[in-house]
Amino acid sequence: MISFILLFRSLWHILKILFKQEEQKAVLLAVLFILVIGTLFYHNVEGMAYLDALYFAVMTLATVGYGDFIPHTALGKLFTIVYVLIGVGILTALIANFNRALIEYHKEKRGAAATKVETEK
């Protein structure tokens, strides 16, 4: 349980680093935008309920593809092809920025530990 709490504390610091970066804010907005576009498309064109459409949009972007929902129209299939190609790129940028923030967090953590050791001497 303690390790779980420490993990979330570290995650909180990483998220604070992420939201200081303008690029990360743009990538998060892009992810939100593409999820809204996908949800609206699948709802309107494929006739899915909003929750099902959001679920399908997320599963498609994450390239999970459980197969429980599929596009039935030709337009839906073409949209999904383009959607996944664009979406995977955006999610890759999100993961890369998260990785960069994680590295920065560990550098700050090591720097703070080194400073603490020097002041104790």
Hey, which of 2-6, 13-17, 98-102 has the most confident mean pLDDT?
A: 98-102
- The owner of tokens 């994680």 is 102
Instruction: Identify which of 40, 41, 39, 44 has the alpha carbon closest to the alpha carbon of residue 56.
Output: 39
Separation in Å, CA 19 to CA 48, 80, 106: 33, 30, 17
For all residues of the chain together, what is the average pLDDT? 85
- Residue percentage of the chain with pLDDT more than 90: 40
Bigger pLDDT: 92 vs 100: 92
Position 39 scores a pLDDT of 96
- CA–CA separation, 19 vs 100, rounded Å? 12
Average pLDDT over residues 89-106: 85
End-to-end CA distance of the chain: 34
Quick one: pLDDT at residue 24?
79
pLDDT tens string 22-81 = 777 888 889 999 999 999 999 999 999 999 999 999 999 888 877 788 889 999 999 999
> Which pTM was predicted?
0.74
